[in-house]
């Protein structure tokens, strides 16, 4: 890779890395696996940077690589191996700092089928448009819309309490 292309690549990655990591984390619910997914995504992007940088929608191109790496990683048997049998203790008992809400969201996302999870994460946490999400996932716009509607309905069913549901209907 030429020096100017490498500089473009580094600038692109520097600007997108937190967003890519957040997207990967929301897909897999594990910070270390998210690191691995982002790393393999960026390695693949580096190898094909000349082709990728010429794409009309570079962000969609990269998100497509990321989702494929996530799905490939899930197919491997070792990805389901737990290295410990006890959850890590919380930093300080009673200090929630929104962790309960985050954990509830991660648990709810984990319960979604992988297609719905990918659509919801890319649309609402990755801030992609319907069209960009469709391009990233290699599916139709209609599929993104229907998967998104089903995923959001499932999340509402799990995350919205009955009292909140009554207020929304009023």
Question: Tell me, what's the pLDDT at 78?
Answer: 52
Per-residue pLDDT of 69-117, as tens digits, reads 988 877 766 555 555 555 555 444 455 556 777 788 888 888 899 889 9
Tokens for 56? 């009309």
**C-alpha dist (Å) from residue 134 to 108, 129, 130, 141, 153:** 23, 8, 6, 5, 20
User: Looking at domain 3-78+99-169, which CATH architecture does it have?
Assistant: Up-down Bundle (1.20)
Is 120's pLDDT higher than 70?
Answer: yes
Measured CA to CA, the distance from residue 160 to residue 42 in angstroms comes to 36
pLDDT value of position 149? 93
The pTM (predicted TM-score) of the whole model is: 0.64
Q: Give the pLDDT confidence of 2-32 residue by residue, as tens digits.
A: 888 899 999 999 999 999 999 999 888 889 9
Pick the closest to residue 133 from 150, 146, 118, 112 (CA basis): 118
**For residue 143, how many other CB atoms are within 10 A of its CB?**
15
The three-state DSSP-derived secondary structure of the chain is: CCHHHHHHHHHHHHHHHHHHHHHHHHHHCCHHHHHHHHHHHHHHHHHCHHHHHCCCCHHHHHHHHHHHHHHHHHHCHHHHCCCCCCCCCCCCCCCCCCHHHHHHHHHHHHHCCHHHHHHHHHHHHCCCCHHHHHHHHCCCHHHHHHHHHHHHHHHHHHHCCHHHHHHHHC
Q: What is the pLDDT of residue 30?
A: 87
């Amino acid at each position: 890779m030429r020096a100017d292309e490498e500089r473009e690549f580094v600038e692109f990655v520097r600007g997108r890395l937190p967003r890519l990591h957040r997207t990967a984390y929301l897909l897999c619910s594990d910070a270390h696996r998210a690191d691995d997914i982002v790393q393999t995504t960026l390695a693949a992007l580096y190898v094909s940077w000349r082709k990728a940088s010429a794409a009309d929608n570079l962000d969609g191109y990269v998100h497509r690589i990321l989702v494929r790496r996530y799905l490939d990683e899930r197919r491997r048997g070792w990805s389901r191996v737990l290295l410990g049998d006890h959850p890590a203790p919380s930093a300080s008992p009673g200090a929630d700092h929104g962790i309960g809400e985050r954990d509830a969201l991660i648990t709810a996302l984990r319960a979604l089928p992988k297609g719905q999870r990918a659509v919801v994460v890319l649309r609402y946490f990755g801030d992609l448009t319907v069209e960009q999400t469709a391009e990233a996932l290699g599916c139709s716009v209609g599929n993104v819309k229907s998967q998104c509607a089903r995923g959001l309905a499932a999340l509402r069913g799990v995350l919205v309490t009955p009292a909140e549901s009554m207020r929304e209907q009023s």
